[in-house]
Amino acid sequence: MPRTREELLSLGVVDPALAAELVKHPIRNPQPSDPYYGRNDYSAHREHRATKLRELHHLRYLPGPIPDQVVEEDHKIPVRDGAEITVRIYRPSHVAAPAAVAQSRPLIVMYHEGGWAMGDLTDEEVNCRLFCRDLGAVCVNVDYRLAPEFPFPTWINDSWDALQWAAKNATSLGADPSAGFIIGGGSAGGNIAAVLAHVARDEGLSPPLTGQYLCVPAITCFRRPELLPERYRDEYLSHPGVTRSGDQATDPVLNDLEKAEEGMRALLKPPLRAVPVRRALPRGHRDLPAAYLQVCGLDPLRDEGLIYERILREEADVRTRLDLYPGLGHYFWTNFPRLDASRRFVEDTTQGVKWLLEQQKKT
């Protein structure tokens, strides 16, 4: 059933625990002591984000390296333009020889967040470690190239080339894709995963994908409700400047999405076309693998995620699972890791990907 305006706006009421945390631990702005302080460029933003992430790894549920349980190894792999990118492989530590096919170890390929212009392997390393330790998976964490140095479609091409490499080399990595072959990512990485689910289907990736993990995904990318199917436009309220008039609180992380969009448009040469909701798809969204989505109530990306889940489930008969976090914002679990909800989010993530693996067993 369609979600009502009242229901959607109720999701955008700030969670009291988040409000209290914002008072005690506001999002850290660059400090004069930072070596990149005063620089207004993408490199400075990248360094600031990396500093923030390093501050979080003291929490037990955001583990650092766990060599007694997970073995990590970097590889350089070729991509189509002759360059190389880095992928980090995570294996359960008791897999002594990667060439010996592990006992039904699924393969999971992850793509990081960062608006296609920031981020690196550290953004998905916690998930990869947890999926490896708790689900027995072999994980491939992809360091695709970033804008503005490498504008669209570089990140899609790199990500697709890495996915094909993982599929081709699954056995030598110690994985068994017949036990599950999942792609995933958060925000921009969720967009990449959603796009590649279509590409893999249309290009006949072998072995085929069995699941997609879409964490707070960027689906439509820009506020263009006229490009959504008409039946869903009344449910597109979360994006600033579309249909909301101050009814929803501002996301503490994505608090200037219009400015971010302006910057993104400058990075897209040619303009972005590979967006799953609005892209012309002869086969629509049918025959895609099962999808697990996480969506946050304060997130400007909220309603495109909710709409996409409905499209997959109701129109394409794709099995879906949705975890919704009312009153919480984009990437709240890393920006406000002390919240009880942040711990639950991390636990939900592992359980959601476990659900994806269980769907494979039902086919």
Q: How far apart are CA 91 and CA 169, in angstroms?
A: 14
Q: In whole numbers, what is the pLDDT of the chain averaged over residues?
A: 85
pLDDT at 182 over 90: yes
Confidence at residue 62, expressed as pLDDT on a 0 to 100 scale: 64
Q: Among 90-94, 277-281, 314-318, which is the least confidently predicted range?
A: 277-281
Cα separation, 354 vs 347, whole angstroms = 11
Check residues 188 and 25 and name the one with the higher pLDDT.
Answer: 188
Catalytic residue among 120, 238, 330, 342: 330
Task: Return the amino acid letter for 315.
Answer: E
CATH of domain 5-27+43-362: 3.40.50.1820
Q: Which one from 15, 299, 303, 342 is the annotated catalytic residue? A: 299
Determine the pLDDT at residue 96.
Answer: 43
Catalytic residue status for 245: no
The pLDDT assigned to 30 comes to: 64
Select which of 187, 251, 303, 342 is catalytic. 187
* 330 in active site: yes
Q: For position 157, what pLDDT does the model report? A: 97
Q: What is the pLDDT of residue 99?
A: 46
Sheet containing strand 211-215, edge to edge, reads: 70-78, 84-92, 138-143, 107-111, 181-186, 211-215, 290-296, 320-325
Q: Quote the pLDDT of residue 113.
A: 93
Residue of 154, 106, 101, 156 whose CA lies nearest to 134: 106
Q: Is the pLDDT of residue 240 over 80?
A: no
- pLDDT tens-place string over residues 80-119: 999 999 999 999 987 544 444 446 899 999 999 988 988 8
- Extents of the domains making up the chain: 5-27+43-362
